[in-house]
Structure 1
Amino acid sequence: MKLNQEEIKQIIPHRHPFLFLDEIIELESLKYGVGVKYVKEDDYFFEGHFPGKPVMPGVLIIESLAQVGAVILLSSSEYKNKIAYFTGIQKAKFRKSVVPGDKLVLKCELTKIRKSFGFGLARAYVNDQLVCEAEISFAIGEL
């Protein structure tokens, strides 16, 4: 299943300037998803990170990955109209800078869901090169 940004907004509550997904190119609810963020020169965070040498902040790469995880979870009818909150980030590694012009491919797999908590593995790529990876955990709450 593929989703454009408007369809993504029907699933997760994130909005500009904190929606970091342009599209979902693969989706299997409650299991796996692949999202894309087209990193643009005029993205607001480049103004201060860093002037003259723009680099996408690592925390925003992690947030982008988590948003893919949220789409995987919240696209299921079982979790419709819920919200996913970060509860942990483990083993995060940043391997390469993400800069304007990059197509950031965001892959997330949900590995375990227990009632109101879940866990996932997340990896981000640019040109098939791993730029970030982390284990994430989340709590499921009411919207």
Structure 2
Amino acid sequence: MTVTPKGKFIIDLELLDLENPIADIEAIRVQNPQRHEMEQLTAILYEDTELNVCAALKEVGEDEFWVRGHMPGMPIMPGVVMLEAVAQLSSFYSQKNDLLGAEMVGFGGVDDVKFRGIVTPGDQLILMVRLLKVRRSRMIVAAFQGVVDGSMVVEGTLKGIPIPVAAVEEMLAQKKATT
């Protein structure tokens, strides 16, 4: 359930300074494990721990892994990549502030997602999240929005869950041992 009134942004865009981010890619990497083509955030622009809101920038480049094939001659950022970017922003905020008490945060689901515009190479996608619910060791729920040139391109609600890193590593080791 998206709780932001229609036409309103989670964070006033005037508060976001694209030239002076509060965290760069190296600071994002401290919190988020994604690397290479799966890194979907360029910088963190804003954070308010009292309101539980955070904003980030995704500079959409000409060399993104999806540009060549989605769609040839008309590159449009896939919705699932937009959702991954929002999940990474939520994970960054959750991990930086130790909200879940987890070694890693994973994608738990999305609800009420609406795609309202397109994102193309050269765009600056502003992502915003507001935490609606935090259940330590269980789940976070966040309203999210994506904005390009002052227009909403995506919105919805997502869930983040703790990933049992040791259990996943053990499962992968067992798979490798049997192949």
- TM-score, with length taken from structure 2: 0.75
Distance 2:162 2:64 in 1: 29
1:12 positional shift: 1.0
Q: Which has the higher strand share?
A: 1
Q: Which has the higher helix share?
A: 2
Aligned to 2:66: 45
Distance 1:38 1:72 in 2: 19
- Partners of 1:86 and 1:139 within 8 A in 2: yes
Per-residue CA deviations over 1:54-106 (Å, capped at 9, x if unaligned) read 00000100110111101110001455762111111100000111001100000
Asked if 1:122 corresponds to 2:140, the answer is no
Per-residue CA deviations over 1:6-29 (Å, capped at 9, x if unaligned) read 110011111111010000011235
The answer for unaligned runs of 5 or more in structure 2 is 1-20, 166-179
Name the CA shift for 1:29/1:95 in 2 (closer, same or farther; >3 Å). same
Asked if 1:136 corresponds to 2:163, the answer is no
Asked if 1:22 corresponds to 2:29, the answer is no
- In our comparison, the structure showing a higher alpha carbon Rg is 2
Name the CA shift for 1:33/1:6 in 2 (closer, same or farther; >3 Å). same
1:11 aligned to 25, 31, 39, which one?
31
Distance 1:88 1:79 in 2: 16
Aligned to 1:106: 127
- Partners of 1:108 and 1:120 within 8 A in 2: yes
Per-residue CA deviations over 1:102-125 (Å, capped at 9, x if unaligned) read 000000111111122110001000
2:87 aligned to 51, 62, 66, which one?
66
Distance 2:109 2:32 in 1: 19
Asked if 1:91 corresponds to 2:112, the answer is yes
Distance 1:4 1:72 in 2: 14
The answer for unaligned runs of 5 or more in structure 1 is none
Give aligned pairs, total: 143
Distance 1:124 1:104 in 2: 6
User: Runs of 4+ in structure 1 displaced over 6 angstroms?
Assistant: none
Identical counterparts, % of pairs? 28
- TM-score, with length taken from structure 1: 0.93
Distance 2:69 2:44 in 1: 28
Distance 2:110 2:98 in 1: 26
